[in-house]
Amino acid sequence: MNTITICDLAALFHVGVPDDERARPQRLLLTVEMELDFSAAAANDDLAHTVDYYAVSRRLIGFGQGRSWKLIETLASEIAAAVLDEYPVRTVAVEVKKFIVPEARYVSVKATRSA
């Protein structure tokens, strides 16, 4: 098994329990770890045998368009489900970092899903 990681991808999402918090998009950081076998891609130097991480990053940046969530737990779970559904990965782990508690560097949740 091999891993492709997109670390701390900045994206804007409408998220938060209070309505006024969800009213404006917040900058969140996403880290997505995708497990797959990319040995054929490495052997042939061929993108067709792996996951195009640029395409995944564009998908994640646009994931929040026209949507909102109360919980980052829900957001992380939905992103993990979408990555599993749309890309040839066996396991995905999605960490969502939110900068809402002034005394903390960030708050994060991590959702792991397998095919």
- List the domains of the chain with CATH numbers: 2-114 (3.30.1130.10)
- Pairing mode, strands 68-69 and 2-15: parallel
pLDDT band at 108 (very low <50, low <70, confident <90, very high): very high
Q: What is the average pLDDT across 7-25?
A: 97
Q: What is the average pLDDT across 42-67?
A: 97
Q: What is the average pLDDT across 11-18?
A: 98
Q: What is the average pLDDT across 25-47?
A: 97
Active site residues per annotation? 98
Alpha helices of the chain — where are they, by DSSP H? 19-22, 39-44, 53-61, 72-86
d(Cα 103, Cα 71) in Å, to the nearest integer? 20
d(Cα 50, Cα 106) in Å, to the nearest integer? 32
